[in-house]
Amino acid sequence: MRRRLATLAAATALLAGGLGLTGPTTASAASSVGWCDGAKRISYGGSDFLVQPYHKATGSRNCTLGSGASGAAVTALQSALKHCNEQSSLVVDGEFGPATQRALTNAQRLRGAAADGVYGPETRTKLRWGVHQHSGGIRTCVTYN
């Protein structure tokens, strides 16, 4: 029984570390509240809006995304990279894999953020985000804190 528990504990620790769940380890993620696990729609004048990753439990947009993440938060980031940060070949699929990491690192360099391939608060303030029209489509791209 002890051996089984030790193996389970070791596997859990390895998995958590591999997914970045042990806490932010890079400069761009240092002031993060946790892993981004949703996409927040933010009003931007009239019926226009932005969509940015956020941490559901706290409601904060000061969260982190990295390799292995998936879901609505990754989709929001990929859309911004593709449409507003000169990464037009990126496929928006909701999976943070090597292509998303390369696109993010390129965008970070382009926008003057630490080019570490990890999305965090610093990167959020430097990237350009699509201003979506209520009727559909992106009207323009802006930086947004």
* 29 pLDDT higher than 50: no
Per CATH, the homologous superfamily of domain 24-143 is PGBD-like superfamily/PGBD (1.10.101.10)
pTM for this entry:
0.78
19 has pLDDT over 60: no
Domain ranges of the chain: 24-143
Alpha carbon 26 to its chain centroid, in Å, reads 14
Q: Read off the pLDDT of each residue in 4-19 and give the average, rounded to a whole number.
A: 36
Q: Residue 41: pLDDT above 50?
A: yes
Average pLDDT taken over every residue of the chain? 81
Q: Give the model confidence (pLDDT) of 84-106 as tens digits.
A: 999 999 999 999 999 999 999 99
Nearest one of 103, 106, 104 to 89, comparing CA atoms:
103
DSSP state of 136: S
